Amino acid sequence: MYLAGYAIECALKAYLITREPPAGSLARAVELRRARGEHVPNILGADGHNLRLLLTVTGLESDLDREEARRRDWGICLKWKSTWRYDPAAPTTVQATEFIDATRRVYEWVRART
């Protein structure tokens, strides 16, 4: 589950890079946006694990709002925390399956937009 959530983080960051063709890196994409006067939070640090923040920065929120099924999946993805790798509590099979399935669909949804 930890890696599935991390895949969503990476997909959103990859999307940001593809929106700035000359960038080639997330740091450069952020730099280019800031140079245009856009407010871009520090997603290169710990805030870069915040899926809600990353979605906002991508500008994909309005697309997500149009699809009820993806909104539901997104809500499941938002349960992810980068600290899960340290959590000794194991999820149930049902929780894990629900989370993995939702992240798979969101991942494909983001990838289809790059």
pLDDT tens-place string over residues 56-109: 999 999 999 899 999 999 999 999 999 998 999 889 999 999 999 999 999 999
d(CA 30, CA 85) in angstroms, rounded, equals 27
pTM: 0.93
d(CA 86, CA 28) in angstroms, rounded, equals 31
pLDDT at residue 49 is higher than 90 = yes
CA 98 to chain centre: 17
* Predicted local confidence at residue 114, as pLDDT: 81
Q: What does the mean pLDDT of the chain come to?
A: 95
Domain count for the chain: 1
